[in-house]
Amino acid sequence: MLSLKIDIDNNSGFCFGVVYAIEMAEEILNEQGYLYCLGDIVHNDEEVHRLQERGLRIIDYGFYRSLTNEKVLIRAHGEPPSTYQTALQNNIQLIDASCPVVLKLQNRIKRTYDERKPVYIFGKEGHAEVIGLKGQTNNEAVVFGSYEEMRSHRFPQEITLYSQTTKSTAELYRIRDAIETTGVKVDLKDTICRQVSNRDEELRSFAAAYDIIIFVSGSKSSNGKMLYAVCKEANPQTYFVSAIQDLRREWFTPNQRIGICGATSTPMWLMEAVKTKLAEM
């Protein structure tokens, strides 16, 4: 036995938007035994699998457009206007679990677009949230995912810059400053969720306090990738795992202090399972 001393970060786990979506899904699953969900309800394969075993049916846009007379859950990431139009045409009852922070951002982007101002979004092209955000601009908004991508764009004289809610605050301001050095006027709208951004400093402190950090997250989670990088910077002995099967005994030596933390899309039950596995080593 390695006799590891293991703690879980109490601030890790689902954000309120994900909690709300999953509670809504579970309520309907309890009532009717199944429920369609447009895309993964959360970017965590283990949690998706748990809900699928309870009757959640993950569907894509093609399947969604063929459905009629059904209930469909909209996850916390939000959806573009076309999703609501399809629901009206096909008599689909939408169970709308869009995060209020995302809905507010969608409305702000639509107002800017309606004012005929160029809309730029710092986010991941193709990400579920970004699809909904671009939809507010008839898909005309320009999206870039990093400082390096931004440098390849030719900007007009004035732009309005928004951000996907789960991106890095420091990177957003770095991008704003870089664009302004080219002479472009940037109207920055800091639309990063504070439940996400406030976790940066908390995680830095947590990660620095342990010999090894196990960061638990789905591989598709943008928030997970960003927060993992924060932990890795604070503690180079940080390992990314998506399931207990990813843990390796050779990472550890006896009596080390191990910290477990995760993304806003990581369920607490999964971090508890990681802790149990480590305790058995």
**What amino acid positions are annotated as catalytic residues?**
129
Contact criterion met (CB below 8 Å) for 262 and 234: no
Query: Three-class SS of residue 63?
Result: helix
Count CB-CB contacts under 10 A for residue 88: 9
Tokens 């302004």 -> residue: 180
Q: How many residues are present in the chain?
A: 281
Give the residue from 97, 99, 148 showing the smallest Cα distance to 122. 148
In 3D space, the residue among 49, 63, 41, 60 whose CA is nearest the CA of residue 221 turns out to be 41
**Distance between CA atoms of residues 158 and 138, nearest Å:** 20
Q: Residue 255: phi, psi to the nearest 5?
A: 70, 15
Q: Classify each residue of 45-68 as buried b or exposed e, where b means 16 or more C-beta atoms within 10 Å of its C-beta.
A: ebbbeebeeeebebbeeeebeebe
Nearest alpha-carbon partner for 66 in 46, 91, 43:
91
The three-state DSSP-derived secondary structure of 28-56 is HHHHHCCEEEECCCCCCHHHHHHHHHCCE
Beta bridge partners of 5: 257
